[in-house]
Amino acid sequence: MAHISTSKIVPGMIISRDVKDQQGRLLAPSGQEITTKLIRIFKIWGIGEIQINNVAEPGKEAGDDFSPPGDILKKSEELTRYRFQYNDLNDPFVFELFRISSLRKAHQLWKKPESNPLDSYREFEQAPLQVRTRSKRINPEHLIQKTLHLGTIPDIYYKTIAAINNPEASLNDIAGIVSKDVTLSAKVLQLVNSSFYSLKQKVDTLTWALALVGTNQLMTIVSGVSAVSLFKNIPSQLLNMVSFWEHSIACGTAARLLSSYYPRQMDAERFFVAGLLHDIGRLILIQNLPKEYLGLFQQVRKEEIFLFTAETNTFGLDHSQIGAHLANQWNLPESLGKMIKHHHFPGLDGSLAETSIVNLADVIVNALEIGNSGEYFVPIIEPHVRQGLKLDKEILQPLINEVDNQLEDIFEIIYGIPD
Ligand SMILES: [Fe+2]
Ligand SMILES: [Fe+2]
């Protein structure tokens, strides 16, 4: 057995003595495996130290017992370096992201060695390129009309967004619309009471919830739930939807947290929605052009290019432009459409800070492989983005910890519990 600080515990460790709060209430019994959720519970209840099964070799400290072996560290570094090949590792900020990503990968490989993506890369190397896509110019308006025609978005969502964007609608008017939909009302309360807001008291009425956090958070839920419902029929052979939404929700969460470093940009919810919807154009492409899109996945790995570059080569535009068109169709604010449109190349329209935040959030979650929207290589952190945002490398680890912390709650609200 070893005593270990809760700041050093990682998922997978086994508790060797019951963990209780200060009132003696059992939080986790002896023998239970540590999970991310459990770490969060320990933090909430202020548990400083716990006892875990000691698997240490003599002479090693308890915290060191859980560092993956050298060969796994080497393998994960090789793989992460390959995925970061377009980034400048001499930049201290980029290098810190690389270091954290590589260590995270090592823990994944150590825990689940069978899921080694380096091997699946080799499969790609050997497989003949089956679908060679031909250039096929597309019209985004046409694709979006087709998509909206296929999917169903409950009318209540349109009405809610219209009310949020109407300066004359009061909080009571908006609450009145939302309260007509039981699911939407429940989700608003769930979000307000989640780790996303960390409020001390429990909020149990809709008007109170909206008064506390404003109506913008309502847009978060409405756009998230609308987007999920619109694309729920995409077959899993084409894209793992759980993974897609995990990537998108993590990006939204990271963008929202990044925006908090800029006191003048108070509208954190808008960053969440932008992150949540930034890759939605990809779903429109996959749904309408499945065969062509499957070919792109192979092309990306074979030719070592970004998926958005392959999209542009094939369709004449990439998913960011299509996503911006959809945001427009949904009457989302113009600034949101811009953040979606420029999330690969921020600053092109003059609003560098806003678009850079979503861009950086996307790069971070891609690097860490939180979910997956189809991109394999880590997109480039452009020097002008780094310089424009003036962020220090020290923010990365706490930011990533907080994304991990909030992700599960938000995922459950937006996507529901996956089967
Ligand atoms: Fe993207
Ligand atoms: Fe993305």
In a domain, 31, yes or no: yes
Residues 61 and 71 in one domain: no
- The pLDDT assigned to 121 comes to 45
Considering 65, 90, 110, which residue would you say is the last residue of a domain?
65
In a domain, 115, yes or no: yes
**Residue 396 CB burial class (10 angstroms; 0-12, 13-18, ≥19):** middle
Residues 210 and 184 in one domain: yes
- The pLDDT assigned to 349 comes to 61
Select from 335, 329, 326, 395 the least CA-distant residue to 360: 395
Residues 107 and 217 in one domain: no
AA identity, residue 187: K
CA of residue 263 to ligand 1 center, whole Å:
26
CA of residue 264 to ligand 1 center, whole Å:
26
- The pLDDT assigned to 265 comes to 55
Please work out, in degrees rounded to the nearest 5, the angle formed at the alpha carbon of residue 45 by the alpha carbons of 44 and 51. Answer: 115
**End-to-end distance of the chain based on CA atoms, in angstroms?**
36
Q: Quick one: tokens of 377?
A: 């290589």
- The pLDDT assigned to 378 comes to 96
- The pLDDT assigned to 122 comes to 44
- The pLDDT assigned to 87 comes to 95
- The pLDDT assigned to 1 comes to 64
Domain hosting 111: range is: 67-126
In a domain, 134, yes or no: no
Q: Is 192 left (phi over 0), alpha (psi -120 to 50) or beta?
A: alpha
CA of residue 359 to ligand 1 center, whole Å:
8
Q: Which ligand is nearest to the CA of 360?
A: 2
The residues facing 51 across adjacent strands are 3
Residues 216 and 250 in one domain: yes
Residues 204 and 328 in one domain: yes
CA of residue 324 to ligand 1 center, whole Å:
11
- The pLDDT assigned to 371 comes to 93
Residues 229 and 376 in one domain: yes
AA identity, residue 28: A
Residues 180 and 328 in one domain: yes
Residues 404 and 293 in one domain: yes
Q: Which ligand is nearest to the CA of 318?
A: 1
Considering 23, 43, 65, which residue would you say is the last residue of a domain?
65
Q: Between the CA of residue 65 and those of 10, 92, 104, 373, what are the distances in Å?
A: 11, 28, 16, 34
pTM score, two decimals? 0.76
In a domain, 132, yes or no: no
- The pLDDT assigned to 56 comes to 40
Residues 60 and 166 in one domain: no
Considering 126, 155, 177, which residue would you say is the last residue of a domain?
126
CA of residue 176 to ligand 2 center, whole Å:
35
Task: Kindly report the backbone phi and psi dihedral angles of residue 286, in degrees, each rounded to the nearest multiple of 5, phi listed first.
Answer: -65, -40
Q: Which ligand is nearest to the CA of 340?
A: 1
- The pLDDT assigned to 127 comes to 47
C-alpha–C-alpha distance, residues 357 and 354, integer Å: 6
- The pLDDT assigned to 16 comes to 85
In a domain, 135, yes or no: no
CA of residue 10 to ligand 1 center, whole Å:
31
Task: Kindly report the backbone phi and psi dihedral angles of residue 49, in degrees, each rounded to the nearest multiple of 5, phi listed first.
Answer: -145, 145
AA identity, residue 99: R
pLDDT in tens, the chain (419 residues): 677 777 678 777 888 888 887 667 778 888 888 877 777 777 666 677 788 875 444 334 444 456 888 888 999 999 999 999 999 999 999 999 999 999 999 998 888 766 555 444 444 444 444 545 556 778 888 888 777 766 666 677 778 878 887 888 888 888 888 888 877 788 888 878 887 777 777 888 888 888 876 776 777 777 777 788 778 778 888 888 899 999 999 999 999 899 888 766 557 778 888 999 999 999 999 988 988 898 898 889 899 999 999 999 999 999 999 999 988 887 777 888 999 999 999 876 656 678 899 999 999 999 999 999 889 999 999 888 888 888 899 999 999 999 998 898 888 888 875 54
- The pLDDT assigned to 315 comes to 92
CB-facing half-sphere around the CA of 272: CA atoms within 13 A: 27
Residues 407 and 292 in one domain: yes
In a domain, 207, yes or no: yes
CATH number at residue 168: 1.10.3210.10
C-alpha–C-alpha distance, residues 259 and 361, integer Å: 10
Residues 310 and 371 in one domain: yes
Q: Domain tally for the chain?
A: 3
CA of residue 96 to ligand 1 center, whole Å:
22
Residues 90 and 200 in one domain: no
In a domain, 133, yes or no: no
Q: Which ligand is nearest to the CA of 244?
A: 2
In a domain, 390, yes or no: yes
